[in-house]
């Protein structure tokens, strides 16, 4: 939890370091640990981040998300049987939903350098981002954080030796841009919650 302290508070420390950084624009940026880099970029993109030390905290935080959004006893989309129990214990219908409120999914990896989430057909089948609900809850682990997309593609290749998944895509924008940004053109921003379970 200490790794994330500077993102959740303790803003007063480091003022001396900030001044040092301002002295020379040619000074190289200090290298951030990969988990801090992901957290920083993910939150900058508008993602909502909930750190969980164990499975009990995953269940508690998931219930808090449901309560905050009034999603109890609503229809939801979930395409992974391993996650059905989390929905069933909260009385959420995931069988042939007609109008799902949110998607519950895992992911392939968390991409640190851009704060994005890497998915494949294992989590979202052949659905395109526009076809998925606008609210998404992701369950991932700290060991899934990797440096960049190339690392993510290598991991997928290694993990799925024979049955290589399709529909590999990243979600990067988790809120609508306040001003028109050409980088977001054609993207479909999602209201995204990440339940990140410590497993290292």
| d(C-alpha 9, C-alpha 97), whole Å | 40
- Work out the average pLDDT over 22-37: 70
Structure token digits, residue 120: 């494949």
- Per-residue pLDDT at 173: 86
Question: Could you tell me the pLDDT band of residue 39, with boundaries at 50, 70 and 90?
Answer: very high
Six-digit token pair at 4?
């994330």
Average pLDDT over residues 111-118: 96
pLDDT in tens, 153-180: 999 999 998 888 999 999 998 876 444 4
Q: How far apart are CA 134 and CA 147, in angstroms?
A: 27
Task: Kindly report the pTM of this predicted structure.
Answer: 0.80
For 60-88, the pLDDT digits (tens) are 999 999 999 999 989 999 999 999 999 99
Q: What is the 3-state secondary structure (H, E, C) of 108-139?
A: CEEECCCCEEEECHHHHCCCCHHHCCCEEEEE
| More reliable by pLDDT, 17 or 39 | 39
Whole-number pLDDT of residue 13: 43
Q: How far is CA 56 from CA 61, 132, 143, 194, in A?
A: 9, 28, 19, 15
Is the pLDDT at 49 greater than 80? The verdict is: yes
pLDDT of residue 182: 43
> What pLDDT, on the 0 to 100 scale, is given for residue 189?
76
Which pLDDT score is estimated for 26? Answer: 60
Report the pLDDT value the prediction gives residue 30, as an integer from 0 to 100. 63
CB 45 within 8 A of CB 192: no
Contact 98, 77 (CB under 8 A): no
């Amino acid at each position: 939890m200490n790794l994330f302290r500077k993102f959740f508070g303790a803003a007063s420390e480091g003022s001396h370091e900030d001044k040092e950084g301002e002295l020379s624009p040619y000074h190289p940026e200090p290298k951030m640990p990969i988990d801090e880099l992901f957290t920083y970029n993910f939150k900058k993109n508008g993602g909502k981040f909930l750190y969980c030390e164990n499975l009990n905290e995953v269940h508690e935080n998931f219930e808090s998300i449901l309560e905050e959004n009034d999603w109890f006893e609503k229809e939801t989309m979930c395409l992974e049987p391993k996650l059905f129990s989390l929905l069933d214990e909260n009385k959420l219908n995931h069988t042939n939903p007609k109008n799902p409120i949110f998607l519950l999914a895992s992911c392939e990896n968390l991409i640190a350098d851009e704060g994005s989430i890497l998915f494949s057909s294992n989590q979202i089948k052949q659905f395109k981002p526009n076809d998925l609900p606008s609210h998404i809850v992701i369950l991932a682990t700290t060991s899934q954080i990797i440096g960049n997309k190339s690392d993510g593609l290598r991991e997928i290749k290694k993990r799925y030796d024979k049955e290589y998944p399709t529909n590999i895509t990243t979600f990067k924008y988790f809120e609508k841009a306040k001003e028109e940004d050409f980088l977001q053109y054609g993207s479909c921003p999602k209201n995204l919650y990440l339940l990140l379970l410590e497993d290292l």
